[in-house]
Amino acid sequence: MKYTQLLILAIATAHVSAADWPQFHGPNRDNISADMGLLKAWPEGGPLRIWEAAGIGEGYSTVAIVGKMIYTAGAIDGDCVITALDVNGKKVWIRKNGKAWSGSYPGTRSTPTVTNDLLYHLSGIGNLICLRADNGDVVWSTNILKKFGGRNITWGLAESPLVNRNKVICTPGGKNVSMVALDRKTGEVVWQCTGAGDKPGYASPILIEYQELEQVVTPMSESIVGIRASDGKLLWRCPHKVYTDQNITTPLFHDGFLIVSGCVGKGTTSLQLRVSGDECFVKEHWHNGTLDNKQGGIVLLNGRLYGYAPSQNKSEPWVCVDFKSGDTIFQSAAVKSSYKYENGCLTCADGMLYLFSDDGKMALAKPMLKGLEVTGRLTIKDPGTRPTWAHPVVHSGRLYLRYGDKLGLYDVSGRTK
């Protein structure tokens, strides 16, 4: 068998520009921007705000960016609403995707996925819709909870759909049907995965190809699972019980190792994948109890993992862990979250970390040998009454921040046109 370099194929064969950010956490779902030549330090008060778009609805969805269009979702008057904006922040079209999640922490969760001129979005109550990306016309829609006997979870479905070639993949988490792949053009069933048994998690799946085996990996309510991408066969299931089933962090995969994390002391685990033909199993490589990421995400940069650990050290919640050994390298207080929610999210671009707290404060930080050097700060003046949980995005020299029912665009290139 040919041993190939790991490829993360979250939008395999999709016709999008290398400069696009077409889905949650970007082209590879690794939350790393391809931008280079960005500002390494910000002026006092933060980078220049180019525009602010209001009226996009309440929620925690971040943005997808394809070509000259920006897509996000929010709850407006009880409806789940997808909004397309142009590069100037003006609304191009608005389309409803049924009712919005109205339970605890109401609003949208999922980020749209855009590929081959089609957009896919999953609502908190299970409505999966396919729209034309240019004008918002409905191509097809279905409710995955009703159609596949799925089970909703305490805070509503939060998965951003995954597209692989001709399939769109999502997780109804039924007693029988765990994950499904639908024809992305028609919504017809391509395959169904059975056997996992758990309810859905809150994370989004990733698609990986390792040692010539392509599989979908996602957290469920009490486990992490690997599913063969070609036919939906459950390859492996690793128990991953987290406090109140809050499996929220999207996994990272690199060089044969899968990184998973959980809150309230669960910590971060490295799982080694062992592939044999078209089968696979996993084995624990290391466990780190310090980095107990909740919902802000983890990034891998230069052999180190970075993320927010809300319960292990509240005075220095940003944690750096060695990817190979699992050792904690340092903890930092670069920017602190609110006392109430205690959460921070991040993204990475041009070797810098963009750290965003749940109360609208951001820090630009340079990873150092034994800490984070803060080189810029930004505070949203009116972040709204909800926690700012939407993950930041850096794309084409611009920083996108979602807060309340608004989206702010900031110049981080230093070359405002």
pLDDT at 414: 77
Radius of gyration of the chain (CA): 20
pLDDT at 4: 34
Report which of 303, 410, 291 is spatially closest to residue 354, judged by C-alpha positions. 410
Q: Alpha carbon 2 to chain centroid distance?
A: 31
The structural domains of the chain, with segments of one domain joined by +, span 7-411
Tell me the mean pLDDT per 10 residues along the chain, length 417: 35 49 98 97 97 97 98 98 98 98 96 98 98 98 98 98 98 98 98 96 98 98 98 98 97 98 96 97 97 96 96 86 98 89 94 97 97 98 94 98 97 79
Phi, psi values for residue 382, rounded to 5°? -135, 80
pLDDT at 12: 36
3-state secondary structure of 245: helix
- Residue showing tokens 């310090």: 290
Please identify, in words, the CATH class of the domain defined by 7-411. Answer: mainly beta
3-state secondary structure of 244: helix
Give 2-42 as a DSSP string. -----EE-TTTT----TT-B-STTTTTTS-EE---S--SS-
3-state secondary structure of 243: helix
CA distance 281 to 27: 26
- Residue 124 per-residue DSSP state: T
CB 32 within 8 A of CB 301: yes
Report which of 30, 8, 36, 49 is spatially closest to residue 352, judged by C-alpha positions. 36
**Bridge partners of residue 320, in order along the sequence:** 306, 330
Which H/E stretch holds residue 146?
Answer: helix 144-147
CB 55 within 8 A of CB 63: no
pLDDT at 416: 58
